[in-house]
Amino acid sequence: MAEKRRKFTAEFREGAVRIVTETGKPVPEVAEDLGINETTLASWVSRAKRAEKSTPEDQDALIARLTAENAALKKENKELGMGAMFSNAAWSCG
């Protein structure tokens, strides 16, 4: 029978990461103290470090890129919809 997956609150995850980053204790030691999987804690710490490195400029560039991509896709979708509308009209008139 499969084990149930434990769920951790955001506060617990943040606290665990803070213990590792602020005390300098190794991940395996903190994980054992907290009774969680070492790989899970290492993942949380890694994710937090990546988020720290992300600058507002990076986020602004990402938002701008996604906005432009969204506009292009909307335009393409509209054009494809118009083409389908005209092809359906041609079939119904014939």
State which residues form the domain around 31. 8-53
Q: Are residues 47 and 65 in the same domain?
A: no
Q: Are residues 46 and 61 in the same domain?
A: no
Task: List the one residue out of 13, 3, 88 whose CA is nearest residue 44.
Answer: 13
Q: Are residues 62 and 75 in the same domain?
A: yes
Q: What is the pLDDT of residue 13?
A: 96
* pLDDT tens-place string over residues 30-86: 999 999 999 999 999 999 998 888 777 878 888 999 999 999 999 999 888 877 766
Q: Are residues 14 and 49 in the same domain?
A: yes
Task: List the one residue out of 65, 75, 17, 62 whose CA is nearest residue 42.
Answer: 17
Answer whether 17's CB lies under 8 Å from 45's CB.
Answer: yes
- Domain membership of residue 42 (yes or no) is yes
Residue 91 CA neighbour count, 13 Å, CB half: 6
- Domain membership of residue 3 (yes or no) is no
Domain CATH code at residue 21: 1.10.10
Give the Cα separation of 43 and 83 in Å (integer): 47
pTM assigned to the model? 0.56
